[in-house]
Amino acid sequence: MAFPVSSKIIFFLLLFLFLLSATAQRSINVTLGSSITANKANSSWVSPSGEFAFGFQQIIPGGYLLAIWFNKIPERTVVWSANRDRLVQEGSKVQLYADGRLELRDPRDQQIWAATSSRGVAYGSMLNTGNFVLANSSSVVLWQSFDEPTDTLLPTQKLNKGGILVSSFSKTNYSRGRFLFTLQNDGNLVSYTRNFPLDEPIFAYWSTKTTGRGFQVIFNQSGNIFLVAENRSVLNFVSPNEASTSQFYHRAILEYDGVLRHYVYPKSSDSEGGREMAWSSVDFIPSNICTSMGERSGFGACGFNSLCSLGSDQIPHCDCPYGYTLIDPNDRMSGCKPNFVAQNCDEGARETDLFSFIDMPNTNWPFSDYALFKEITEDWCRQDCLNDCFCAVAIYNNGRCWKKQYPLTNGAIDSSLGGKALIKIRNSNATVYSSVFKKSESSTLIIILSVFLGITMFLLLSLLLYVFCFSRQKSKSLQPYQDLPGLNIRRFSFKELEVATNGFKEELGRGACSTVYKGILKNDNIEIVIAVKKLYKLATEGEQEFKAEVNSISRTNHKNLVQLLGYCEEDQNRVLVYEFMSNGSLAKLLIENSRPNWYKRMQIAFATARGICYLHEECKNPIIHCDIKPQNVLLDEFFTAKISDFGLAKLLKPDQSKTTTGIRGTKGYIAPEWFRNMPITVKVDVYSFGILLLELICCRRNYEPDVEFETEMVLADFAYDCYKEGTVNLLVADDEEALGDKRFDKFVMIAIWCIQEEPTLRPTMKRVIQLMEGSVEVPIPPNPTSFGTSV
Ligand SMILES: *[C@@H]1O[C@H](CO)[C@@H](O)[C@H](O)[C@H]1NC(C)=O
Ligand SMILES: *[C@@H]1O[C@H](CO)[C@@H](O)[C@H](O)[C@H]1NC(C)=O
Ligand SMILES: *[C@@H]1O[C@H](CO)[C@@H](O)[C@H](O)[C@H]1NC(C)=O
Ligand SMILES: *[C@@H]1O[C@H](CO)[C@@H](O)[C@H](O)[C@H]1NC(C)=O
Ligand SMILES: *[C@@H]1O[C@H](CO)[C@@H](O)[C@H](O)[C@H]1NC(C)=O
Ligand SMILES: *[C@@H]1O[C@H](CO)[C@@H](O)[C@H](O)[C@H]1NC(C)=O
Ligand SMILES: *[C@@H]1O[C@H](CO)[C@@H](O)[C@H](O)[C@H]1NC(C)=O
């Protein structure tokens, strides 16, 4: 019982610190007449908590920026600045004059910058929120830095209509750069490329599509960023909060690469045991800036002739294609120039034999084409581009050939692009294989995943620690069930379960590695119905492994997961005890019931998606289910779908039926990578979910031998055929409810995305939910099998 005591101590400590900072907040005023001079002494006006400072930062030798920054973080993190386009020399001064003007003047006393409001100012103050304010004697704020953001938003800051963030030019150059993010007066929240060096936008690459509705962007006290309507209803969650603001510093910044990122940084360094701290990104938009550029004009994400690819770090990288070099070697976004002499255009001197191609799969420069040929071969496409001195690059995809000329715009490498780019270069350079391609191709999903998981786990761990301290009181009532340390599940004796199940009498279901029985636990006057799962064919006999897995399963808690109540481990017996789901499995519902109604089916689809998403993204140790199918989606008394059997993949021997296909060519729920020598990732569950979604939409099994036409036997194939032919209504025949729902087509498209044979093409479950909810447009899905055959 040591915990409640220590948690109380921590609580009072925090309360004390809170009170301390609350009183300190009212004790620092920047009085009229105060000033700071730009020099190496680094003097600044610091907030009462010491967390923010207002003053000068030396950016280059002899070049100072009047700025606000995070003052307790070693890494320079500027959140606001006054003179980003015009650094000032040493000896420049910012002064709060006696008449209330706040001005920045250079050593020759020339005004560089001034706060826009001065009438009646009595004092200035650097607040603990990172907001520098000028106020009158009744403490009414007359001017605040929060109203004139540069590229960053902080918790409690708002972006009003007309408000704008302009990205920096580069990581180290704070002057205004190439992108902007604005809440337009029409209510739409938009990211634009900027017509550098002018402020006008070129084209939008991300928006909330809230014209006429958006009113204000709020970064609230708890670290959520969202767009609200005038009546305060939330229109769009720009970034959810994943880390408590009491434990982490937060900021959202439109970075020099055009991505708006929500970053967090742990406030206390002790918890990490001396590990090096850094800002970590919890969310960002757009999800892939490389493929978001939807118009020809402008430099796109990376500059002309350049190629953008999302690295394993989820950061866009700009690379020149082989045979090209950066125009400005110090600026990766400056664009690329060919480092060979252009092809001669004179008739009779075409030099066709002096040029050849570098092939780059999944690469394209959309919108730069001046010619398109259809139904031709790749060889024909190559020859035609070779003969054409205007042709810098040809894109070949599925019998089509697009010819592109300079400057090539919005270049990107991404598996969603398909096809290949044939990059024409002079022969002397053609022998070495492209390094860009090799690099991007080998950056595997695994790395992305592990980096992402690493960050998430770290955040969750820190959160967990925090929650631990404060939620102990609540969990105390469950003490009797406690056995594994820190868990609220109970260890049963085998005898107990034998009694509960009346000698394992009523069988509920049977799988390759387990049998499930119904049981009743009697506790005082309460009866609880349970499902008792006896496991055999365990992958490991080890006690430790079993405990570890049970431990990890028991830590999951989501309304769309079947809750584990306890376990038994005695001699050779390994048993898991779950809550009982009175309406059986989805498989039973689909087969037995006379077609459950459309809305109920879609509710089940949503619930299943949320359950899987939780396993993938929100668990401390992400769980790949590996066996999503209707038999494993159970329904409780209210027909709420809950996923069962998660976490067992590691515990049980691989199901033999998985490694040998039953009927060849019949697609089951099992993703193709199981049969190929490919890494198994969370995307296998996305595939299975895709099949399940199709079954829910069409209300039939994936494989149905008793159908009129052979083409309809395998639902996955049938669905894509129908989609391609524009006859999706055939999928649901006479289901008026489905046909009447305007989301119907969209759900079919989402399912087709999920069953792409190429795992990287499948969306994540988080994405699937966004697509289903309609917060993101569903792009046209490719043929699920196209990737494997064409490249
Ligand atoms: C700061 O200045 C204002 C105006 O003079 C005054 O009302 C307020 O009490 C001052 N705060 C402190 C803590 O000195
Ligand atoms: C001022 O800041 C710079 C950069 O952070 C540091 O190197 C320097 O030592 C500081 N000077 C003083 C006097 O604190
Ligand atoms: C401070 O500003 C507010 C709003 O402009 C005004 O109502 C108030 O009278 C001012 N107080 C003083 C002392 O000037
Ligand atoms: C930052 O970039 C701008 C735009 O190219 C340039 O004019 C300026 O000189 C750069 N500033 C520094 C300090 O390098
Ligand atoms: C608030 O406004 C939005 C958009 O204008 C609208 O869709 C919504 O129904 C409104 N909500 C309420 C509670 O008025
Ligand atoms: C911030 O917004 C989230 C989401 O709307 C909400 O759950 C939370 O309570 C808000 N926090 C504060 C302090 O308003
Ligand atoms: C291509 O050849 C030209 C001329 O021989 C040379 O200057 C250039 O560096 C070469 N480029 C590459 C990438 O090898």
| C-alpha distance from residue 392 to each of 241, 340, 349, 404, 782 (Å) | 46, 12, 17, 6, 27
Mean pLDDT, residues 569-587: 87
CB atoms within 10 A of CB 247: 16
In angstroms, what is the span from residue 198 Cα to ligand 4's centroid? 14
Instruction: Please tell me if the CB atom of residue 231 comes closer than 6 angstroms to any atom of ligand 5.
Output: yes
Distance CA 319, CA 326 (A): 8
Q: What pLDDT is stored for residue 136 in this prediction?
A: 93
pLDDT given at position 37: 95
Question: Residue whose CA is closest, atom 10 of ligand 6?
Answer: 222
User: Is 191 in contact with 258 (CB distance < 8 Å)?
Assistant: yes
**CA 573 to each of CA 284, 542, 557: distance values in angstroms, whole numbers, following the listed order:** 47, 12, 25
Query: Residue whose CA is closest, atom 13 of ligand 4?
Result: 173
Q: How many CB atoms lie within 10 A of CB 591?
A: 12
Ligand 6 centroid vs 145 CA: distance in angstroms? 23
Collapsing DSSP to helix, strand or coil, 680 comes out as coil
Cα dihedral value 126, 263, 282, 752, nearest 10: 110
Mutation test residue for ligand 3: of 138, 139, 141, the one with most atoms within 8 Å of CB: 138
The pLDDT value recorded for residue 242 is 66
pLDDT confidence of residue 659: 37
- Ligand 4 pocket, CB under 6 A: 60, 63, 169, 173, 175
Q: How far is the CA of 472 from the centre of ligand 6 (A)?
A: 23
CA gap 401, 152 in Å, rounded: 43
Catalytic residue among 627, 685, 717, 735: 627
Please, are residues 117 and 143 in contact by the beta-carbon 8 Å criterion? yes
Taking the C-alpha atoms of residue 406 and residue 714, their distance in angstroms, rounded to an integer, is: 46
Please return the burial class of 475, using the count of CB atoms within 10 Å of its CB with bins 0-12, 13-18 and 19+: middle
Distances (CA, A) of 457 to 451, 460, 581: 10, 5, 31
The domains found in the chain, sorted by start residue, are 20-175+236-285 (2.90.10.10), 292-431 (no CATH), 489-580 (3.30.200.20), 583-791 (1.10.510.10)
Closest C-alpha to 97, from 131, 134, 138: 134
Q: Are 91 and 122 in contact (CB under 8 A)?
A: no
Of 142, 126, 130, 145, the C-alpha closest to 31 is 126
User: SS3 of 51, please?
Assistant: coil
Q: Is the model more confident about 187 or about 555?
A: 187
Mean pLDDT of 457-486: 37
Q: Give yes or no: 627 in active site.
A: yes
Quick check: CB of 339 below 6 Å from ligand 7? yes
Which ligand is nearest to the Cα of residue 59, counting in written order? 4
Q: Which atom of ligand 3 is nearest to the CA of 137?
A: 13
Q: What is the whole-number distance in angstroms between the Cα of residue 259 and the centre of ligand 7?
A: 34
Ligand 4 center to 170 CA (angstroms): 9
User: Ligand 5 within 6 A of 213 CB?
Assistant: yes
Model confidence band, residue 529 (pLDDT cutoffs 50, 70, 90): confident
Please name the residue whose Cα sits nearest to atom 5 of ligand 4. 169
Q: Is the CB of 461 under 6 A from ligand 2?
A: no
Q: Quote the ligand 6 centre to 222 CA distance (angstroms).
A: 6
Mean pLDDT score across all residues of the chain: 82
| CB 766, CB 613: distance < 8 Å | yes
Best of 87, 166, 175 for a ligand 4 pocket test (most atoms within 8 Å of beta carbon): 175
Question: Distance of alpha carbon 272 from its chain centroid, rounded?
Answer: 25
- What atom in ligand 7 is closest to the CA of residue 429? 1
Could you identify the atom of ligand 6 that is nearest to the CA of residue 234?
5
Specify the pLDDT at position 276.
Answer: 60
Cis bond leading into 316, ω under 30°? no
Q: Report the residue count for the chain.
A: 791
Determine the pLDDT at residue 448.
38
How much distance in Å is there from the Cα of 65 to the middle of ligand 2?
A: 14
- Cβ–ligand 7 contact at 325 (below 6 Å): no
Q: What is the pLDDT of residues 55-80, one digit of tens each?
A: 999 999 999 999 999 999 988 999 99
- Name the closest ligand to CA 63: 4
Residue 270 has pLDDT above 80, yes or no: no
* CB 43 near ligand 2, within 6 Å: no
Ligand 7, atom 2, residue with closest C-alpha: 429
pLDDT in tens, 318-377: 999 988 999 999 899 999 999 898 888 887 777 888 888 988 889 999 888 899 999 999
Nearest to 152 by CA among 165, 162, 143: 165
Tens-place pLDDT, residues 219-255: 999 999 999 999 999 998 888 776 788 888 999 999 9
341 lines ligand 3 (CB under 6 A): no
pLDDT at 103: 96
Q: Residue 410 Cα, ligand 7 centroid: separation in angstroms? A: 25
Count other Cβ atoms within 10 Å, centred on residue 378.
15
Query: For residue 455, which of 617, 611, 615 has the smallest C-alpha distance?
Result: 617
Which residues are CB-neighbours of 270 under 8 A, at least 6 positions away? none
**Whether the model pTM is above 0.85:** no
Closest CA to 361 of 679, 777, 760, 779: 760
Residue 576 and residue 567 in contact, taking contact as beta carbons nearer than 8 Å? yes
Closest ligand, as measured to the CA of 436: 7
pLDDT band with cut points at 50, 70 and 90 for residue 8: very low
User: What is the pLDDT confidence band of residue 656, given thresholds at 50, 70 and 90?
Assistant: very low
Task: Please name the residue that has the structure tokens 């409001």.
Answer: 117
C-alpha triplet 387, 390, 391: angle, nearest 5°: 65
The Cα 539–Cα 650 span in angstroms is: 7
Question: What 3-state class would DSSP assign to 323?
Answer: coil
| Tokens linked to 207 | 């928006």
Q: Mutate which of 209, 233, 236 to test ligand 5's pocket (most atoms within 8 Å of Cβ)?
A: 233
663-721 pLDDT per residue, tens: 333 457 888 877 777 778 889 999 999 999 999 998 888 888 778 788 888 888 899 99
N- to C-terminal Cα separation, the chain: 62
SS3 letters across 583-640? CCEHHHHHHHCCCCCHHHHHHHHHHHHHHHHHHHHHCCCCCCCCCCCHHHEEECCCCC
pLDDT in tens, 171-222: 999 999 999 999 999 999 999 999 988 888 999 999 999 999 999 999 999 9
pLDDT at residue 525, as a whole number: 63
Tokens of 675: 């049969």
Q: What is the largest CA-CA distance in the chain?
A: 99
